[in-house]
């Protein structure tokens, strides 16, 4: 099945094109392939995982090329480093306008998103109290999943994200 680019992915494609033009970088076919693959991903990813998949389709693309292109996507403001997992691997995701934080499951390595207004407000007042003005924050909880322990899927935890 050949997946189609969503509206969102089309916007990112434009953004990427503008960034590459502004930097005088070429739209090489390898770069396009890697970027399109990432743009179609549903959520969070580790370079190692996508490298395996990209290389199964296009064996000619080396891991270094993939790393370099993800760096370019970060520089272009399309992808961001979102957290470091329990194995010290960087997890990336497409930048999106809604702020959210993460729970990493220590059992299955899946990543869940949450947005909790109360936590956000507390963080804001703490920052102000300490005389800082926040530029950004990352809040990552590393945890064991009750659903997995009960032999069920993490579907319920996933749906906890308010959008």
Q: Using CB under 5 A, list all residues that contact Zn ion.
A: 93, 101, 113, 139
In this complex, which beta carbon is closest to Zn ion, that of residue 63 or of residue 84? Answer: 84
Distance (Å, whole) CA 157 – CA 114: 9
Residue nearer to Zn ion on the CB measure, 72 or 82? 82
Looking at the chain, which runs of residues are DSSP E strands?
45-46, 79-84, 90-94, 101-105, 111-114, 140-143
Say how many C-beta atoms besides its own lie within 10 A of residue 89's C-beta: 14
Nearer to Zn ion, 53 or 96 (CB): 96
CA-nearest of 101, 87, 106, 29 to 60 is: 29
> Nearest distance from residue 124's CB to Zn ion, in Å?
10
For residues 86 and 106, is the Cβ–Cβ distance under 8 A? yes
Task: Report the nearest approach of Zn ion to the CB of residue 154 (Å).
Answer: 14
Q: How far is the CB of 116 from Zn ion (least distance, A)?
A: 8
Q: Looking at beta carbons only, is 15 or 100 nearer to Zn ion?
A: 100
How far apart are CB 42 and Zn ion at their closest, in Å?
11
Residue nearest to Zn ion (CB): 101
């Amino acid at each position: 099945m050949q997946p189609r680019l969503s509206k969102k992915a089309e916007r990112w494609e434009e953004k990427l094109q503008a960034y590459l033009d502004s930097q005088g970088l070429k739209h090489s076919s390898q770069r396009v392939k890697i970027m399109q693959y990432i743009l179609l991903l549903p959520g969070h990813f580790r370079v190692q995982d996508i490298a395996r998949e990209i290389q199964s389709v296009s064996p000619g693309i080396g891991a270094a090329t993939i790393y370099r292109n993800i760096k370019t996507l970060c520089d272009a403001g399309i992808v961001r480093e979102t957290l470091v997992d329990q194995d010290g691997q960087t997890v990336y995701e497409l930048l999106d306008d809604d702020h959210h934080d993460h729970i990493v499951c220590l059992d299955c390595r899946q990543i869940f998103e949450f947005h909790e207004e109360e936590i956000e407000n507390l963080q804001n007042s703490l920052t102000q109290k300490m005389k800082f003005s926040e530029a950004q924050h990352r809040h990552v909880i590393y945890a064991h999943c009750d659903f997995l322990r009960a032999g069920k899927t993490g579907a319920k935890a996933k749906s906890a994200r308010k959008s």
